[in-house]
Structure 1
Amino acid sequence: MRTLITIVAFLSFGLLSEIQAQEKHEILSPQEFCDKMKSDDVQIIDVRTPKEYKNGHIKNSTLINFFDDDFKEQLSKLPEDKKILVYCRSGNRSGKASEILENLGYKNIYDLKGGMLLWEKAKTDCY
């Protein structure tokens, strides 16, 4: 019985590790996100609404409204050779957008933890 439990635990751990390895996006703190922004090979994507974007956004970001009917199509046009930094208001929409990007085959996807709410509270050197 002990051997069976050990085998099941080992297999479960292996499956969990495999699932975690499949995740292709990384969630970054505001400072880590800021550090990534300083690279030349990045595309910064804001997935909020135009009204939210107009009220303030991260420098050099491109707006792709999460609620647009062709949102997925717009994402699919992003360059595949750049790191993609994604953010929204709180991290919910950007997390979903990151998953869509993964499903489209993109790699090097970085999601801003806490979105603009946390970004505005953080004291980074990206302002």
Structure 2
Amino acid sequence: MSLLSFLFGTKNDKVTVISAADFKQQIENKNVQLIDVRTAGEFKSGAIKNATNIDYLSGNFISKCDSLNKDKPVYLYCRSGARSARAAKKLSRAGFSKIYDLKGGISSYK
């Protein structure tokens, strides 16, 4: 059972929760849509290289994601995995076709 299934009680084939090792391998040296959904303050305290900060808790998360390509994979992370799981569900409903969520957040990535 994925984290999304556990949190929301549904299976979502657009969202894949992946380990830190797989996440790192998939984004390394590639031009990907890498989104840090933490607050600006958290982002400034340290982020994954080449990540764009779009705060999930801001009132306009989805409108800020409108500049992203919905047909290209999106890689999401937060501090521990909870916010990025919720962000992934929102992006899925907004029409994004392939979303990768970092299991355990940036805490597991370091």
Q: Same fold (TM over 0.5)?
A: yes
Deviations 1:38-89 (A, max 9, x none): 3645200000011100110000000001111111111233112321000000
Equivalents in 1 of 2:27, 2:13: separation in Å?
21
Paired position in structure 1 for 2:48: 58
Equivalents in 2 of 1:108, 1:67: separation in Å?
22
Paired position in structure 2 for 1:82: 72
Unaligned runs of 5+ in 2: 1-9
Deviations 1:80-126 (A, max 9, x none): 23210000000000000000010011111000000011112xxxxxx
Unaligned runs of 5+ in 1: 1-18, 121-127
Aligned AA for 2:40? P
Q: TM-score, normalised by structure 1?
A: 0.73
Q: Considering only CA atoms, is the larger Rg found in Structure 1 or Structure 2? A: 1
Map 1:39-50 → 2, pairs under 5 A: 40-50=30-40
Aligned AA for 2:18? L
Report sequence identity in percent: 39
Paired position in structure 2 for 1:109: 99
Paired position in structure 1 for 2:89: 99
Query: Between Structure 1 and Structure 2, how many residues are aligned?
Result: 101
**Aligned to 2:68, what secondary structure does the other structure show?**
coil
Q: TM-score, normalised by structure 2?
A: 0.84
Equivalents in 2 of 1:38, 1:114: separation in Å?
18
Q: 1:33 to 1:79 in 2, by over 3 A?
A: same
